[in-house]
Amino acid sequence: MPSSHAAVVVAGGGAAGFMAAIAAAEAGVGDICLLEATSEPLHKVLISGGGRCNVTHACWDPQALVGHYPRGGQALRGPFGRFGPGDAVAWFGRHGLELVEEADGRLFPRSNRSESVVASLRRAALQAGVRLHTGVGLQGAALASGGGFALELRGGQGQQMTAGRLVLATGSHPSGRRLAASLGHGLVPPVPSLFTLAMAGNPLLELAGVVMDSVELALQLPPDPAGGAGGSRFRQRGVVLITHWGISGPATLRLTAFAARALKAAGYRGELRLDWTGGQSQPELESMFAEAKRGQAKRQLANWRPWPQLSRRLWLALLQGQAVDPQQRWADLTKRQQQGLITALRDTRVAVTGRGPFGEEFVTAGGIPLGEVNLATMESRRQAGLYLVGELLDIDGVTGGFNFQHCWSSGWLAGQALARA
């Protein structure tokens, strides 16, 4: 169990909590106690990225970087200017972890194993003198009569202790929001973000497993009953994966991240329009079809697609949907059939009926309002000596390492501020 007093207590042994504790200790703060309620600190790091851990993203310009955060983006320009992805890469490099950039900009450990990230953080905490206690959570926090905080712990013997300063790094767990509220903070109601979409009867069921790149998604939501006319519309473009229950893939996750609150208000109902062509115009597609009719006149439609990257399974399904015989020759394709296929390629419409069935959302939108935190130091504006970092704040990013980057940045800033204090 922890001792009865610590100069700094960090509640939450995740990415932001570890970074805050390590940064403070390396900057000269002694007597730091890091509490993790579970038996496995850094669990989210361990399971992220399919066990590879997408540590951050190779987006070096803070102005471009903030565009990947549906909520809190503009407020992060300052923090990212002080500790951005380049700083995170250098920090992990100094702590023995080399990151490798993939073609899409994501940065993973060279080992391709999240265990390497966990090991690096745990080793850095140990070397810096941070005292890690697992199976010990923060149950309650109040102002101590002599200054600092009186803390009630859960786990072990239900010990109480005091802390000169307190860092809440509890992620999206309700306990952190409750603790922050007890110390005077408000709350932006949390809603799921980064999730897949389920479809009515799944008209694309037979295409489960198909992956298409450069697909344009347009999500039309019904009008808000409380807000009157005009439903919201959201657009994204990128890789789409068709599943047994609906639509997934990076473009879908990004779409649902930006539409998270509007989707919640709409009861996760709406219409999704898919442009499989990546935004190609009617004349461009007509030219492709004309070229196929000239150059592939004797080929069957099933054996030649308008462009090579078009999934064959998707193409066959579109032919079937337009009642076009796949054994028909390209030379015999009528204008009416061609127009029907072009329309289907540019504007497939499906009804969204909910979120994916497995609760796979990895991020929560909502948390402590940013106006209540000094983002230069991550110190509370409501209570001196209290610091709030990571996903506890009303900040969330899309997939690609952006949520971890916010954790590294906010944790590092808090650690530096603790050292100055």
pTM over 0.75: yes
Q: What percent of the chain has pLDDT over 70?
A: 96
CB-CB neighbours of 43 under 10 Å: 14
Quick: pLDDT tens for 142-174: 999 989 999 999 975 668 999 999 999 999 899
Q: Average per-residue pLDDT in the chain? A: 94
Q: Show the DSSP H helices in 158-281 as ranges.
A: 174-182, 250-258, 260-265
Amino acid 224: pLDDT: 66
* The pLDDT of residue 364: 87
Chain segment 293-320, per-residue pLDDT in tens: 999 999 999 999 999 999 999 999 999 9
d(CA 172, CA 352) in angstroms, rounded, equals 26
Span 85-110, mean pLDDT? 98
- What per-residue confidence (pLDDT) applies to 229? 46
- pLDDT recorded at residue 380: 98
Q: What angle do CA 341, 217, 189 make, to 5 degrees?
A: 155
- CA–CA gap between residue 242 and residue 279 (Å, rounded): 19
Q: What is the mean pLDDT of residues 18-43?
A: 97
Model pLDDT, residue 341: 98
For residue 232, the model assigns a pLDDT of 85
Report which secondary-structure segment, H or E, holds 294: helix 282-295
Asked whether the predicted pLDDT for residue 360 surpasses 60, the reply is no
Res. 246: pLDDT tops 50:
yes
pLDDT of residue 358: 60
Q: Is the pLDDT of residue 136 over 50?
A: yes
Pick the CATH number of 5-191+362-420 from 2.70.150.10, 3.50.50.60, 3.30.750.24, 3.30.360.10: 3.50.50.60
> What pLDDT is stored for residue 179 in this prediction?
97
Secondary structure E strands in 95-210: 99-101, 106-109, 131-134, 137-143, 149-154, 160-168, 188-193, 197-199
Whole-number Å distance between alpha carbons of 79 and 84:
8
In the chain, count H helices and then E strands.
13, 20
For the cut 50, the answer to whether the pLDDT of residue 409 exceeds it is yes
Report domain extents, the chain: 5-191+362-420, 196-360
